[in-house]
Amino acid sequence: MSGIALGLLLSTLAGLSTLIGGFFGLIAKKPGPKFMALTLGFSAGVMIHVSFVEMLGEGIEAVGFAPAHLAFFLGMGAMFLVDALIPHDYFDSHDHRGSDNHKGSLLKTGLFVALGLGIHNFPEGMASFVGALEDPSLGLSIAVAIAIHNIPEGLAVAAPVLAATGSRRKALWWTFLSGIAEPLGAGVAALMLLPILSDAILGYVLAAVAGIMVFISLDELVPVSRSYGMEHLSILGVVIGMGVMFLSLWALG
């Protein structure tokens, strides 16, 4: 399979993992706080480690130390603007007791969460695609990390929509729409990059995507992981995620 096809496939699978969280919200109890703290921390550890060790490193090798870092910080700045202009939050990290009498508010919450997550998922799809272009194992690592943290995002969309409408179909539909932004991001990356792709351009893009991923990890994954009240498990998850990435990269040479 070519790097282009693999990148599109990985971003699609990572994006649609939101449906796993959606099904959790429809047919099962929510995952416990220990599980959520550990897995979100793990996802952050994987993304931080691969960003600094692989993606920023590849960028430095391709375009130089200062230019790669400039692209890295531009990536962080871009995600900061997205986060500031389109804020989003996890439904299950707040106390919504008594909200059953406010179905309109719940529906609005669910739809805005879906919109916010969709916009935030767009650059994540680009990350999976660009990583797969550079190295299939790198693209797979990024996609797995993104898929892990997309599961609670799916839950965050499905829970309020289901509570407001009573419709499982609508809850899953909005969960699907929030996740499909990732393969759309990969498609846009393909259309923009492939006609002009060179080692230097790929280096700049890898460094910028590394900045995006570090921002997502520090601004979203770690804080949400710690919000479950399991601070030590959260940090343990980060360390385990970094350790797993170290072992996988070492094994792959």
Q: Which residues of the chain have pLDDT under 70?
A: 1-2, 25, 27-31, 86-120, 149, 152-153, 156, 159-160, 163-164, 248-249, 251-253
pLDDT at 70: 98
Q: What's the rounded Cα separation, in Å, for the pair 74 and 72?
A: 5
pLDDT at 76: 94
pLDDT at 63: 94
pLDDT at 235: 93
pLDDT at 43: 75
Split into its structural domains, the chain has a count of 1
pLDDT at 13: 87
| Predicted structure pTM score | 0.65
Give the domain extent around 135: 3-251
